[in-house]
Structure 1
Amino acid sequence: MSYKVIVAGGGLIGTSTAYYLAKSGADVTLVESKDIAAGTSGACDRAIMLQSKKPGPTLDLAIQSANLYQDLEEELEADLEYRKGGGMIIIETMEEMKAMEDMVERQQKAGIDVKLISGEEARERQPGLSKELLGSTWWEHDAEVNPLNVSFAMARAAQRFGAKIKLQSQVTGFITENNCVLGVDIAGEKLYADAVVVAMGVWTPLLLKQIGVDVPIIPRRGQILVSERLEPFLDCNILSASYIANKLKRNHNHESADSLGVGLAIGQTHSGTLLIGGSRQFVGYNTETSPEITRKIGEAAVRALPQLTNVRVIRTFSGLRPYTPDGMPILGPIEGMEGIYIAAGHEGDGVALAPISGKIMAKVACGVDPGIDISPFSFSRFNQHISGAEGVNINCPVPSE
């Protein structure tokens, strides 16, 4: 009898988890309140950039995930628009230069052969970059992918292995007994399982609060501009040093709601449009776009690439990154409860970490050693309170249909 698992959430992390579970032979049901990639995974950019990751456990995961991406199109039998074109982090001030020198040194010690290059060499690698730029990092192995294509391809591949997918089906609660999760409620319908994986990004805390679990994931809004179609000219993904600085800020308790956190992230899609970000704001679940942020992102883009001065922006959109206090995702069980697991909190690293996160969770949810030390990503690192969980002798009954 195969292990029965419910995955709540149809974004990159949820579909990846469902795929690797189904591939391993588990009986999988993926439940999504809207559609595949209808949330954060459908409102982000395309970058698989390792040099933007902080050295340590997250970078280690990203390296393994990047290796999985190289063969994923063939494995999923789908066009993911995967391209390994390299990546740059551009530098505008001497202060940024010093910060990037330190970051490059740490990246190199971590095994990523990132180089710091001059402004002149940066312009040779990417014609059109501003002559005002002092320099840039460069790493040839950074890549990009279409996150929508990945999410849908993962879901379809999971179905080919026998997974069931329930769209327009919101998980409204859990079936629990003696601090054990036995399944989920979906608008009155009860689904039982041996394990439930909650991969709902910024909405994860709202669901788990129902069973007394406080998950420290906070929405961090980011805005992206979409340009008119242009002839291909952008050869790699480009971030600015200010983008990295804003990403690494962990000060949500002190950041005012009007702090924009603007830094440049730009890439060109297969259709020729530019995706130009981004911003970072703690404004709850508000996904409205801001004219002020549109203007500031546009100014950052034109500073870096003056040729964009007269390029038209055809639309803007925003998404909610699942921020955690230490900048790392939560992967694994909830200590003090049986049968429930979290795979969320990737913030801006969801695209890069999706394959490895799904592969890890597929093993962990079935009680198999993932072969990777995931203790740095454990929920217990936050010492969060679980109502009623303390001092309970857990004795889970066998789920019944």
Structure 2
Amino acid sequence: MKQKVIVVGGGLIGAATTYYLSKQGADVTLIEAKDIASGTSGACDKAIMMQSKKPGPLLELALQSAALYKGLEEELEADLEYREGGGMILFETEEEREAIHQLVARQRQAGLDVQLLSRDEARLRQPGLADHILGTTWWDHDAEVNPLHVSFSMVRAAQRRGATLCLGKRVSRILTERDRVVGVECEGEKIYADAVVMAMGVWTPLLLKSLNLDIPILPRKGQILVSEQLPAFVACNILGGSYITAKMTPKSKESTASPAAGVGLSFGQTNSGNLLIGGSREFAGYDTRTSVEVTRAINQCAARVFPALRSVRILRVFSGLRPYTPDGKPILGPIEKWPGLYIAAGHEGDGVALCPITGKIMAEIVCGREASHDIRPFLLSRFTSTVPV
């Protein structure tokens, strides 16, 4: 008999989990309160960037995911706008140079052959960089993809395998019987299953409070500017050293002196020619409103690095809520206290990069198969266990 599984959340992670569950032969239903990729996954950039990952379990997971992306267009029979064009992290100050050099040394030890480029070498790869840039990193195999295409294509592929899609239905509570999760309630309708996978990103903790579960995921808002369409301007994925610093700064240490705290360059270009210019990292609860102050700070940061942007028009600004965890790693796997319940959330800004491997691993675990990657560093229990993972 097929295992019946409910996936709650229609973003990248929920779509990937649904797709790989369908490949495993599960009877899977995806439930989404709005539409596919209508939340965080529809308000992010395109980067599949390994250089921004901490060496260790997170980078190892990301590399497996990057390998899956290489064959995903053919597998899904869809154009995902996948491109492996390389990536760089630039540094503007001696402090950033030192921090990036330390990061690169650790990445090389982990097997990631990241190069360090001088200013002149960097400007050969990416024309238009400002004169004050001290240098950059470079890795040939950083890539990009359209997260909307990935989300929709995975859901459609899952439907071709028999998955059920329920859009516009909000899950109001988790159903339990005899200390076990047995389904969900949607707008008064009870839907039963052998397993429930929570893939709701920043909204995951809210729904699980009723089960007395404290899920350490916080919304971390990020704003992105969208420019007018331009001829080819960006040759690769680009991050600023301050962006990496902001990403890896715990909540307790983040500056609260200004709403613009956490601003650092994140730069890419869509197939249609629009520049996606980010970004910020703010703990502002569930407030998704954009801020003029933060918008101005991002714009100034981008123009400082690329002076030519001073004459480029910005068409719009949007924001999304990244699901932050205290140690920067997602929460994956079963919940010991509640058999039948699984979580796949907390990817913060790594949801695009970790999407395929997350879906694959979750499907394997839910269907009782051996996971293709060690999930112990990603279990919820790491936040309460006294044993290092």
Q: Under a length normalisation based on structure 1, what TM-score does the superposition of the two structures give?
A: 0.94
TM-superposition CA deviations, 1:309-361 (whole Å, max 9, x none): 11000000000000001000000011121100000000000000000000000
> How many correspondences in the alignment?
384
In the alignment, is the contact (CA less than 8 A) between 2:198 and 2:345 conserved in 1?
yes
Question: 1:228 is paired with a residue of what secondary structure?
Answer: strand
2:133 is the counterpart of 1:142: no
2:68 corresponds to which residue? Answer: 68
Question: 2:311 is paired with a residue of what secondary structure?
Answer: coil
Q: What letter is aligned with 2:292?
A: P
Structure 1 segments unaligned to the other structure (5+ residues): 385-401
For the structure 1 residues 296 and 253, does the alpha-carbon distance in structure 2 shift closer, same or farther, using more than 3 Å as the test? Answer: closer
In the alignment, is the contact (CA less than 8 A) between 2:58 and 2:329 conserved in 1?
yes
2:349 corresponds to which residue? Answer: 348
1:154 corresponds to which residue? Answer: 154
Q: What is the alpha-carbon distance in structure 1 between the residues aligned to residue 309 and residue 260 of structure 2?
A: 26
Deviation >6 Å, runs of 4+: none
1:81 corresponds to which residue? Answer: 81
1:390 corresponds to which residue? Answer: none
Q: What is the alpha-carbon distance in structure 2 between the residues aligned to residue 285 and residue 143 of structure 1?
A: 30
2:143 is the counterpart of 1:132: no
Instruction: State the 1:212 CA deviation.
Output: 1.1
1:396 corresponds to which residue? Answer: none
2:195 corresponds to which residue? Answer: 195
For the structure 1 residues 297 and 253, does the alpha-carbon distance in structure 2 shift closer, same or farther, using more than 3 Å as the test? Answer: closer
Question: 1:89 is paired with a residue of what secondary structure?
Answer: strand
Instruction: State the 1:211 CA deviation.
Output: 1.3
In the alignment, is the contact (CA less than 8 A) between 2:227 and 2:276 conserved in 1?
yes
Q: What letter is aligned with 1:116?
A: L
2:307 corresponds to which residue? Answer: 306
Question: 1:124 is paired with a residue of what secondary structure?
Answer: helix
In the alignment, is the contact (CA less than 8 A) between 2:254 and 2:262 conserved in 1?
no
Q: Under a length normalisation based on structure 2, what TM-score does the superposition of the two structures give?
A: 0.97
Pairing 1:2-401 to 2, within 5 Å after superposition: 2-252=2-252, 255-256=255-256, 258=259, 260-383=261-384
Q: What is the alpha-carbon distance in structure 1 between the residues aligned to residue 251 and residue 5 of structure 2?
A: 36
Q: What is the alpha-carbon distance in structure 1 between the residues aligned to residue 230 and residue 175 of structure 2?
A: 52
In the alignment, is the contact (CA less than 8 A) between 2:255 and 2:261 conserved in 1?
no
Question: 2:28 is paired with a residue of what secondary structure?
Answer: strand
Q: What is the alpha-carbon distance in structure 2 between the residues aligned to residue 11 and residue 43 of structure 1?
A: 11
For the structure 1 residues 4 and 142, does the alpha-carbon distance in structure 2 shift closer, same or farther, using more than 3 Å as the test? Answer: same
Instruction: State the 1:383 CA deviation.
Output: 1.5
Q: What letter is aligned with 1:352?
A: A
Q: What is the alpha-carbon distance in structure 2 between the residues aligned to residue 174 and residue 282 of structure 1?
A: 27
Structure 2 segments unaligned to the other structure (5+ residues): none
Q: What is the alpha-carbon distance in structure 1 between the residues aligned to residue 207 and residue 19 of structure 2?
A: 23
Question: 2:304 is paired with a residue of what secondary structure?
Answer: helix
Q: What is the alpha-carbon distance in structure 1 between the residues aligned to residue 153 and residue 372 of structure 2?
A: 25
Of residues 231-240 and 338-347 in structure 1, the stretch that sits farther from structure 2 once superposed is 231-240
Q: What is the alpha-carbon distance in structure 2 between the residues aligned to residue 236 and residue 258 of structure 1?
A: 29
Q: What letter is aligned with 2:73?
A: E
Q: What is the alpha-carbon distance in structure 1 between the residues aligned to residue 23 and residue 182 of structure 2?
A: 23
In the alignment, is the contact (CA less than 8 A) between 1:4 and 1:26 conserved in 2?
yes
Instruction: State the 1:251 CA deviation.
Output: 2.4
Q: What is the alpha-carbon distance in structure 1 between the residues aligned to residue 71 and residue 255 of structure 2?
A: 41
Instruction: State the 1:127 CA deviation.
Output: 0.7
Compute the RMSD of aligned alpha carbons.
1.1
For the structure 1 residues 225 and 259, does the alpha-carbon distance in structure 2 shift closer, same or farther, using more than 3 Å as the test? Answer: closer
In the alignment, is the contact (CA less than 8 A) between 2:260 and 2:297 conserved in 1?
no
Instruction: State the 1:122 CA deviation.
Output: 0.2
Q: What letter is aligned with 2:239?
A: L
Instruction: State the 1:131 CA deviation.
Output: 1.3
In the alignment, is the contact (CA less than 8 A) between 1:219 and 1:321 conserved in 2?
yes
Q: What letter is aligned with 1:260?
A: A
Instruction: State the 1:260 CA deviation.
Output: 2.1
Q: What letter is aligned with 2:135?
A: G
Q: What is the alpha-carbon distance in structure 1 between the residues aligned to residue 124 and residue 84 of structure 2?
A: 18
Q: What is the alpha-carbon distance in structure 1 between the residues aligned to residue 253 and residue 301 of structure 2?
A: 27
1:395 corresponds to which residue? Answer: none
